[in-house]
Structure 1
Amino acid sequence: MSSALKWMPLVAALALAGCARDGYYDDRGVDYAEAEPSAPLVLPDSRDNRRYRDAMPVPKAQGAFVSQGDEFRVPPPRAMGAGSGVEAGGVAMREVGNQRWLVVGAEPGVVWSELEDFVAERNLAVTRRDADAGLLVTDQARFSVRPGLQSGASELRCEQGGGPQEGCLRALQRRFEARGATASASSLAVQRPEDRPRPLLTQQAGEWRLELPFDLERTWAELSYQLEADFALEGRRELLEQDVDAHVFLVDYLTLSARSEGMWETLTSFGGEDPQRIRLSLEAVGPERTVLHARSADDRELTAEDRRELLERLAGLLG
């Protein structure tokens, strides 16, 4: 091979590099360096809000967590798609025992406004209206609206004689499904989600626990619904049993320490990650205060760090 031919690859490389510098290949790095801010995009007020949402939403950290000293860490955000909370404009049924109610993905004021229209359209005689308490009583049923456990959601009940009216709830459910909860907010004076108390992770006698500012029955119904949706991954997290009378759930959960050690154990012993059996129990400690405990249900110890990580996940499901 001649000496001229030996230098041909280098010449070609330099030529290509020169082409890139001369603009034959776009260097996008310059675009970022010279980028200038522009005015935000403004959509018309007449748009249908149900058709627009964040393309890449960032989940918020749930719960009013407070520092627990040097060991405090920022709680993780709720995983996108975790659980089965009601989306904005959505509606779903909740039940515990013989109690049933609707959870609507809208502020209480919006739900109240739609409820008033519902009552008026059916010519129901109103015998009591208390917007501050979210209470509307007619000659056929007692309606109540209150903030839901999930942020931005509401609970709607239709009862008579202390029990739920199935036909009324179904009619309301169909209405919200059709309307998408787009009614304008009324003057209902209720506590807003940002003002109300949130789940609080605390320690008592060295044990992590989750304090929830909701009554026992509502907490049970919501946690049961969320666990059935989120704890359905065999070998990772799985709901095994639930006892409504004792307010106890039995789950298998792959703890934080097991997830951290799983890869090393697999490489050294050809073993697999082993979920731990855990008992979740709810305890009423006041009219609007419930405590969630997580304790080992097998012969293994549930460490403080594993207990806290599990309770943080559950707080995200309930928040």
Structure 2
Amino acid sequence: MNPALKWTPLVVALALATAGCARDGYYHDRNLDYGEAEIAEPLRLPGGGDAVAGAMPVPQGRIAASTEGAPRPAAGSAVRHTPEAFVESRERGDDRWLVVAAAPAAVWPMLEEFVERQGLTVTQRDARQGILATPQGRFTVQSALRGGASEVRCEAAGRSHAACLSALAGYFEMQGQSASASALAASAEASAALLAVQPTSEGWALSVPADAERVWSELDYQLAGRFDDADFQRLLERDATAREFRVAYLPQRLRGQGEGMLAALAIWRDDPEPRAVRLRVEGAGSEGSRVRIIEGLDGADQRELLERLADLLR
């Protein structure tokens, strides 16, 4: 049997009907109606009505009482990054996979249902290892670099199967529409504890509990898509062999934000340019890997950029 299966994506078509107000390209001009309008008699209130209070009176004292004691955001509180989509595609060379914003324990039953709906025969099923094999393809599920998320692969003859992944992506998208916002928020909170920017003898480093190859691939995806501000931050070069990136980054202290007009004028005179910074992803043994700044920034600026990278990976 040919190992390549003609997958049929499970996609729900939504028919949207729109009603127009025009007939034969003609729209009624109401300006003439307004111009010919006549002044009507004032509205007469029934007996007992209060003409002074107005149509929608606001009780006195209610507004101040309603806001008193309301929770306020803490000063300096950080905004957590949440997934922009329930399922995203990743690729590196010939390798392709999906990142799903749900833990493997939640993705596994979705995958089983997908295989059942496609009418495939399961030849191997190992929920603990996250392996589901059929004659047409082999599915794997594992924890993603981002906390609370999963990586899903579909391979045939040892290679990524693009049509299978496309069908899976469509199915997961439908499932993701029913995922609660609280569940996604919990995933974002869980991811925050996985990454840490820590001081080292060489400066600062971002520790990530995942192997260097996976960290480099995810960072490559995030930098390419979100490091695109020509004035403050952008990706310049990448070196997959050395697991290095070269980026342009302008620290916050040089952007003149929140310091008033004098700081803005000082920035205009200095005309600061983003610094050329070299990053490297290194293996850290059983602890996973770490991201270091090899050159371009020091001290607090170095830590700031690593915190920014940590937000990209969360």
Q: How would you bin the TM-score normalised by the shorter chain?
A: 0.5 to 0.7
1:246 aligns with 2:277: no
1:144 aligns with 2:151: no
Gaps of 5+ in 2: 1-51, 181-186
Determine the structure 1 residue equivalent to 2:122: 126
| 8 Å CA contact retained: 2:281, 2:292 | yes
Q: Secondary structure at the match of 1:93?
A: strand
- Cα displacement (A) at 1:91: 1.7
Q: What do you get for the CA RMSD once the two structures are aligned?
A: 3.5
CA distance in 2, matches of 1:210, 1:279: 14
- Cα displacement (A) at 1:210: 0.3
Change (3 A) 1:193 1:217: farther
| 8 Å CA contact retained: 2:99, 2:152 | yes
CA distance in 1, matches of 2:249, 2:236: 10
1:200 aligns with 2:196: yes
CA distance in 1, matches of 2:204, 2:60: 49
Change (3 A) 1:316 1:136: same
TM-score normalised over the length of structure 2: 0.67
Determine the structure 2 residue equivalent to 1:276: 275
Q: Secondary structure at the match of 2:146?
A: coil
- Cα displacement (A) at 1:120: 1.4
**CA deviation string 1:261-316 (max 9, x = no partner):** 9975752572323211101110122367111011324xxxx221000011111101
Moved over 4 A (4+): 22-29, 260-266
- Cα displacement (A) at 1:128: 2.1
1:142-291 paired onto structure 2 within 5 Å = 142-180=138-176, 182=178, 194=190, 198-260=194-256, 267-268=265-266, 270-286=269-285, 289-291=288-290
1:303 aligns with 2:298: yes
| 8 Å CA contact retained: 2:146, 2:191 | no
- Cα displacement (A) at 1:183: 7.9
TM-score normalised over the length of structure 1: 0.66
Q: Tell me which amino acid in the other structure corresponds to 2:242.
A: A
Gaps of 5+ in 1: 1-21, 38-57, 59-73, 185-190
Change (3 A) 1:28 1:235: farther
Aligned residues: 247
1:41-120 paired onto structure 2 within 5 Å = 76-78=78-80, 85-87=83-85, 90-120=86-116
Change (3 A) 1:260 1:305: farther
- Cα displacement (A) at 1:181: 5.6
CA distance in 2, matches of 1:286, 1:160: 32
1:34 aligns with 2:85: no
